[in-house]
C-alpha cells in the first residue's frame, strides 16, 4: 500500500499524496513512495506532472512531527537529507511539475510545493513555515527556496514569525500563480498541463534546465547555459517540424519528442 497514487490521463500524470489520516504529513515512507512514483514515470508519454494531496483539507501539513519528535541530531540530518534529495529530484525532474495545493501546505508541505515548477492553489489553501514554533528550522529546502521565490525580506518575515498566509496573500507575493475554487483546482492544473503538453517536449525540458541552472549563476555563465540548451534543440526533429510547420502555415503541429 503506497502513500502516493499515480494516475495518467493522456500526457498528464497526477501524483496524489494519500495519507489523509495525518493530513498527508511526510514521513520516510511517504518520501520513499514519492521517489518510487518518480522512478515509474514514463518519460516517453508523460509531458507534465501534477502533484496534489488527497481530500480537500491538505496538500501536506508538513513533515511528520510524531516521526521527528525523538530523533537524534544524526537521525534528523538523515531525514532532512532524504527530504532534500527527493525534493531536489522533483525540482530537477526532466518534466514540468505543477503543484495543485488543495489546502494546508505547511512546513514540508510548503517546501514540496516550492520544489515544483509552478504552484496553483485552492481558495482554502494555507501556506507557511511554522517550524520555529516546534523548535526547529525548515529542513526540506524552505530556508533556501522561499527566499528565491518571494525575496529575502519576506521569506525571513514568514520563517522567523511562523506566520501562515492564505491563498490571496500567497498569490500577491508570488508564491502561487493563481487561486481557484476547490472544485476548479485540478481541472485548472490539467488544463495548464495540457497546454504545456502541446509544445515541443524537448524544448520545454531544455527551458526548465536553462532556468534552473541559470538562477544560481552570474549572468555571463547563465547565458552560456541558455546557448547550450538553445543550440541543442537544433539537433531535434521537433525543431525542424516546428519551424517548417510555421513556415508552411500549418496549425496544431504535433511534436514527436524526438
Ligand atoms: N505531522 C504529523 N501528524 C500531523 C501533522 C504533521 N505535520 N499535521 C497534522 N497531523 C495529524 C494530527 O496529529 C491529527 O492526527 P490525529 O487525528 O491522530 O490526532 C490529524 O493529522 C488531523 O490534524 P488536526 O486534528 O490537527 O487538524 P486541524 O484541522 O485541527 O489542524 C493543522 C490542521 C493546522 C494543519 C494542524 O494539524 C497543524 O498545525 N499541523 C502541523 C503543521 C506543522 O507544524 N507543520 C510543520 C511540521 S515541521 C516540518 O514540516 C519540517 C520539515 C523539515 C523536516 C526536517 C527533518 C529533520
Give 181-204 pLDDT, tens digit per residue. Answer: 999 999 999 999 999 999 999 999
In sequence order, which residues have a C-beta less than 8 Å from that of residue 175 and are 6 or more positions away?
Answer: 114, 119, 127, 146, 149, 150, 165
Exposed/middle/buried for residue 71 (C-beta within 10 Å: 0-12, 13-18, 19+): middle
pTM: predicted TM-score of the whole model, two decimal places: 0.98
Is residue 1 very low, low, confident or very high in pLDDT (cuts 50, 70, 90)?
A: confident
Which atom of ligand 1 has the smallest separation from the CA of 106?
45
pLDDT at 25: 98
| φ and ψ of 125, to 5 deg | -70, 145
Q: Where are the domains positioned within the chain?
A: 4-197, 201-247
pLDDT at 178: 98
CA 206/CA 44 separation, integer angstroms: 15
What fold characterizes domain 201-247? Lyase 2-enoyl-coa Hydratase; Chain  A, domain 2 (1.10.12)
CA 103/CA 57 separation, integer angstroms: 5
Average pLDDT, the chain: 97
Ligand 1 centre from 107 Cα, in Å? 9
Q: Of 3.40.50.720, 3.90.226.10, 3.30.43.10, 3.40.309.10, which CATH number belongs to 4-197?
A: 3.90.226.10
| φ and ψ of 50, to 5 deg | -110, 130
Ligand 1 centre from 49 Cα, in Å? 26
List pLDDT tens digits, range 114-165: 999 999 999 999 999 999 999 999 999 999 999 999 999 999 999 999 999 9
Mean of the pLDDT values across residues 64-81? 98
Which atom of ligand 1 has the smallest separation from the CA of 131?
48
Ligand 1 centre from 60 Cα, in Å? 9
Residue pair 100/54 in contact by the 8 Å Cβ criterion: no
Amino acid at each position: 500500500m503506497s502513500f502516493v497514487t499515480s494516475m495518467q490521463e493522456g500526457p498528464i500524470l497526477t501524483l496524489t499524496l494519500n495519507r489523509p489520516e495525518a493530513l498527508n504529513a511526510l514521513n520516510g515512507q511517504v518520501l520513499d513512495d514519492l521517489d518510487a512514483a518518480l522512478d515509474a514515470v514514463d518519460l516517453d508519454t508523460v509531458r507534465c506532472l501534477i502533484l496534489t494531496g488527497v481530500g480537500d483539507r491538505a496538500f501536506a501539513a508538513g513533515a511528520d512531527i510524531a516521526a521527528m519528535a525523538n530523533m537524534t541530531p544524526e537521525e534528523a540530518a538523515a531525514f532532512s537529507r532524504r527530504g532534500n534529495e527527493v525534493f531536489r529530484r522533483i525540482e530537477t525532474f526532466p518534466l514540468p511539475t505543477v503543484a495543485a495545493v488543495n489546502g494546508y501546505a505547511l512546513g514540508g508541505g510548503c517546501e514540496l510545493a516550492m520544489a515544483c515548477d509552478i504552484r496553483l492553489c485552492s481558495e482554502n489553501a494555507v501556506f507557511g513555515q511554522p517550524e520555529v514554533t516546534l523548535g526547529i528550522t525548515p529542513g526540506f529546502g524552505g530556508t533556501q527556496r522561499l527566499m528565491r521565490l518571494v525575496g529575502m525580506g519576506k521569506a525571513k518575515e514568514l520563517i522567523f514569525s511562523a506566520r501562515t498566509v492564505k491563498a490571496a496573500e500567497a498569490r500577491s507575493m508570488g508564491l502561487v500563480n493563481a487561486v481557484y475554487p476547490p472544485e476548479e483546482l485540478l481541472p485548472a492544473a490539467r488544463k495548464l498541463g495540457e497546454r504545456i503538453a502541446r509544445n515541443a517536449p524537448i524544448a520545454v525540458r531544455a527551458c526548465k534546465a536553462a532556468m534552473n541552472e541559470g538562477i544560481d549563476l552570474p549572468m555571463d555563465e547563465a547565458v552560456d547555459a541558455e546557448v547550450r540548451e538553445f543550440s541543442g534543440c537544433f539537433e531535434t526533429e521537433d525543431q525542424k517540424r516546428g519551424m517548417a510547420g510555421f513556415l508552411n502555415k500549418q496549425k496544431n503541429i504535433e511534436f514527436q519528442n524526438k
